[in-house]
């Protein structure tokens, strides 16, 4: 029995306390004030909104763990979506076949990977700051995308891709399933592979990691490339959900992904943090906005409440460490 508890605790990690508590608080609060909160409708809206923000958050997570940042995530997703759209368009638009879609997806992932690869190479070899490098990439992709689309929408895709954005399997939305699959992959990657191990070590001290015989450049390049791939998956999901691609879509998610990482206990300076608490943190954020929506609150107010929540979490974390410190001193 103890062993099981330990295993569960090891799986969740100490970072779980904050998001877990927030989840409980949000569920209790909204089910008290709104009887419709604990319903299929809430679940449905959360389940469909979660994946886009979630996938982009996963894309942000890896660079943050290395002590960096990827500010180009949303526009990488747009460019990847654009790549897939272009393949569909040039193969008959709404009449394009599944093969064209498959090729489109592969090229989209290739485009996302390329964006990450270039950033990773620049960061690893020039040691330029990741914020500056990814900001440059963001501006490049944005300009490129707006130039190619003339600022407009690209739409008119075959019907068969719609389930990817709206369909359900056994009552679970397809985008949610894809997201959960990606969460599990990221979890295994970080906790069970050498790449994940090295990602954490680099986040704490890249020079000491290099002195230990780790190819730190390779790890950095891989991390940003994988980040780009995750952006591409988000871009494909967005294409299917909106049945269109527009450069700039999802731009407002950028900073929320950073905050979701911190809410999930990721150390803002790198080296520490796990995937599962971030997953829970994302659910908290979505439940909060759905709950406020139910109460008839304005969407902008929901955003404001997110801000308050994050500040509250930081104050609580500070208080928790202070409390532990005093407990130890009195011990």
Partner 1 sequence: MTELAKSSQAPLLSLRNINMTFGGIRALKDVSFEVMPGEVHCLAGENGSGKSTLIKIVTGVYRPEPGAAIEYDGQTYSHMSPVTAQAAGIQVIWQDLALFPEMSVAENIAFQTVLGRWPRVISYSRMHEIAVKALARLGVSLDVDRPLKDYQIAQRQIVAIARALIGDAKLIFMDEPTASLTQSETDHLMDIVRTLSASGVAVVFVSHRLAEVLEISDRLTVLRDGALVGVYPAAGMTQSRITELMTGRTFEYDVRSREVSANPVVLEVEKLSRPGLFEDISFTLRGGETLGITGLLGSGRTELALSLFGMLKPRSGTIRLEGKPVRFSSNRAAIAAGIAYLSEDRLSLGLIQPQSIADNLVIASLDRVTSGGFLSDDRKRALVAQWIADLGIRIGRQDDAISTLSGGNQQRVAIAKWLATNPKLLILDAPTVGVDVGARAGIFEIIAKLADSGLAIILISDEVPEVYFHADRVLHMAEGRIVNRFTPRDCTLADIEAAVYA
Q: Which residues bind partner 1 (CB under 8 A)?
A: 188, 191-194, 196-197, 200-201, 204-205, 207-215, 271-272, 328-329, 331
Report residue 81 as tokens. 């979506």
> Least Å distance between CB 218 and partner 1?
10
CA dihedral sign of residues 27, 30, 33, 39: negative
Question: In this complex, which beta carbon is closest to partner 1, that of residue 57 or of residue 209?
Answer: 209
Sequence-distant (≥ 6) Cβ neighbours of residue 249 within 8 angstroms: 74, 78, 81, 238, 242
| Distance (Å) of CA 228 to CA 105, 178, 185, 232 | 14, 17, 15, 6
Number of Cβ atoms within 10 Å of the Cβ of 213: 7
> Least Å distance between CB 58 and partner 1?
20
Question: In this complex, which beta carbon is closest to partner 1, that of residue 213 or of residue 296?
Answer: 213
Q: Is 75 within 8 Å of 228 (Cβ atoms)?
A: no
Question: In this complex, which beta carbon is closest to partner 1, that of residue 222 or of residue 238?
Answer: 222
SS3 96: coil
> Least Å distance between CB 240 and partner 1?
32
Backbone torsions φ then ψ of 244, nearest 5 degrees: -160, 165
> Least Å distance between CB 276 and partner 1?
16
Nearest residue to 224 via CA among 79, 88, 65, 100: 65
Question: In this complex, which beta carbon is closest to partner 1, that of residue 163 or of residue 271?
Answer: 271
CA dihedral sign of residues 145, 147, 148, 150: positive
> Least Å distance between CB 216 and partner 1?
10
Question: In this complex, which beta carbon is closest to partner 1, that of residue 186 or of residue 306?
Answer: 186
Question: In this complex, which beta carbon is closest to partner 1, that of residue 219 or of residue 236?
Answer: 219
Question: In this complex, which beta carbon is closest to partner 1, that of residue 93 or of residue 271?
Answer: 271
Helix (H) or strand (E) holding 244: strand 244-246
231 vs 75: CA distance, rounded Å: 9
> Least Å distance between CB 183 and partner 1?
18
Sequence-distant (≥ 6) Cβ neighbours of residue 80 within 8 angstroms: 108, 109, 111, 112, 231, 232, 235, 236
> Least Å distance between CB 214 and partner 1?
7
Report residue 137 as tokens. 């990439």
């Amino acid at each position: 029995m103890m062993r099981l508890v330990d295993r569960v605790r090891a799986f969740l990690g100490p970072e779980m306390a904050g998001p877990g508590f927030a989840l409980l608080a949000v569920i209790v609060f909204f089910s008290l004030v709104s009887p419709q909160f604990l319903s299929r409708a809430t679940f449905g809206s959360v389940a469909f909104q979660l994946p886009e923000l979630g996938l982009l958050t996963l894309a942000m997570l890896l660079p943050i763990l290395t002590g960096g940042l990827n500010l180009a995530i949303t526009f990488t997703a747009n460019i990847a979506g654009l790549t897939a759209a272009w393949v569909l368009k040039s193969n008959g638009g709404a009449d394009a076949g599944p093969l064209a879609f498959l090729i489109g997806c592969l090229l989209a992932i290739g485009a996302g990977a390329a964006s990450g690869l270039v950033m990773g190479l620049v960061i690893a070899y020039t040691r330029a700051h990741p914020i500056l490098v990814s900001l440059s990439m963001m501006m490049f992709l944005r300009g490129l995308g707006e130039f190619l689309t003339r600022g407009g929408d690209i739409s008119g895709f075959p019907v068969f891709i719609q389930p990817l954005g709206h369909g359900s399997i056994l009552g679970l939305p397809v985008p949610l399933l894809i997201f959960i699959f990606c969460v599990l992959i990221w979890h295994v990657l970080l906790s069970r592979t050498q790449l994940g191990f090295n990602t954490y070590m680099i986040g704490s001290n890249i020079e000491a990691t290099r002195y230990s015989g780790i190819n730190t450049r390779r790890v950095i390049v891989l991390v940003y490339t994988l980040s780009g791939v995750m952006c591409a998956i988000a871009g494909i999901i967005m294409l299917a959900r909106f049945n269109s691609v527009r450069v700039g879509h999802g731009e407002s998610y950028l900073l929320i992904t950073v905050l979701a990482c911190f809410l999930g206990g990721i150390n803002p300076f790198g080296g520490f943090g796990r995937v599962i608490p971030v997953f829970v943190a994302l659910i908290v954020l979505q439940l909060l906005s759905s709950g406020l929506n139910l109460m008839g609150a304005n969407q902008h107010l929901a955003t404001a409440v997110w801000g308050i929540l994050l500040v509250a979490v930081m104050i609580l974390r500070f208080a928790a460490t202070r409390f532990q410190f005093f407990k130890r001193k009195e011990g």
